[in-house]
């Protein structure tokens, strides 16, 4: 009998290409602020392994947890959800 997968998945947006086969993905989540009960956005950046260099800046993607690829890369590209549109001038600003 096959064991269910214990790998975590997250959804995020590619904010930067960081070398060959690597991208940085921003994952946002909403948390309730304890004092005022207001929902606020929190984010975290993940270094993601992209074997085929398929991701571009602005793409919404799914990532999953994997074995450590390097000191900071512990996540891998899973699927492309939507293709992003980025202006060439904005790429230089990131």
Top pLDDT among 61 and 3 is at 61
> How is the chain split into domains, by residue range?
9-93
* Model pLDDT for residues 19-61, shown as the tens digit of each residue: 899 999 999 999 999 999 999 999 999 999 999 999 999 999 9
The CATH superfamily label for domain 9-93 reads Nucleic acid-binding proteins (2.40.50.140)
Helix, strand, coil percentages for the chain (3-state, nearest 5) = 5, 50, 45
Confirm whether pTM is higher than 0.75.
Answer: yes
Q: Which of 4-13, 26-35, 46-55, 69-78 has the lowest mean pLDDT?
A: 4-13
């Amino acid at each position: 009998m096959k064991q269910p997968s214990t790998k975590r998945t997250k959804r995020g947006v590619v904010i930067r290409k960081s070398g060959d086969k690597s991208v940085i993905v921003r994952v946002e989540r909403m948390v309730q602020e304890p004092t005022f009960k207001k929902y606020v956005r929190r984010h975290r950046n993940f270094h993601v392994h992209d074997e085929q260099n398929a991701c571009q800046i602005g793409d919404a993607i799914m990532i999953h947890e994997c074995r450590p690829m390097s000191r900071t890369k512990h996540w891998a590209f899973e699927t492309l959800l939507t293709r992003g549109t980025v202006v060439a001038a904005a790429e230089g600003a990131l």
